[in-house]
Amino acid sequence: MVCDRCLGSVKNTLEQQNLKYEHISLGRIEFKKELSKDQFHLLEKELKANGFEIVAERNDKIVTDIKSLIIALVYEHKDFGNYKLSEVLSEELHYDYSHLTSIFTKAEGQSIQSFQNKIRAERIKELLEYDELNISEIADKMDFGSAAYLSTFFKKETGLNPSQYKLKHSERKSLDKL
């Protein structure tokens, strides 16, 4: 689950199947009681029909947690002070960053930083398309030091500068496809 619509879809599926849960967040469901095999298979089937899959393998779960945290960080603009992404991930997931990056790179074929950059680029595209903020305001909102730095970053990630993107309106990617 990588967005609020995903959460809503999963919540609807759980309610339709009358499955009680303690907490649901991006990439995670905590049930009030363990599901029976039949409940699990029915849930898995319904989620798969809606484009989701259940991640039960430990390393797959870690990768999902990393992705969910990065997406939340980029979209919610949480202020972690002077902490680096590596420190936030290590603290939140309770693993050494070198272990996290090894698992992530092996599973995804890209680094955690590369994934974060892609998510940031998609968020910038979204903000450009909304056309509510100018480049400087987007740079500030996205914690870039300046509009020039944002433009350099964006061009490196997309091949276009923000102004060119606004004119061209290139197709955005779904976050779960990154």
User: SS3 of 31, please?
Assistant: strand
**Region 160-172 average pLDDT:** 82
Q: What are the chain's domains?
A: 4-49 (no CATH), 56-178 (1.10.10.60)
Residue 71 CA to residue 7 CA, distance in Å, equals 14
- Quote the pLDDT of residue 76: 81
Q: In the beta sheet, which residues pair with residue 23?
A: 30
pLDDT in tens, 137-157: 999 989 898 999 999 999 999
For the entire predicted model, the pTM comes to: 0.67
Terminal-residue alpha carbon distance, the chain: 13
Torsion sign (Cα): 141, 94, 22, 25: positive
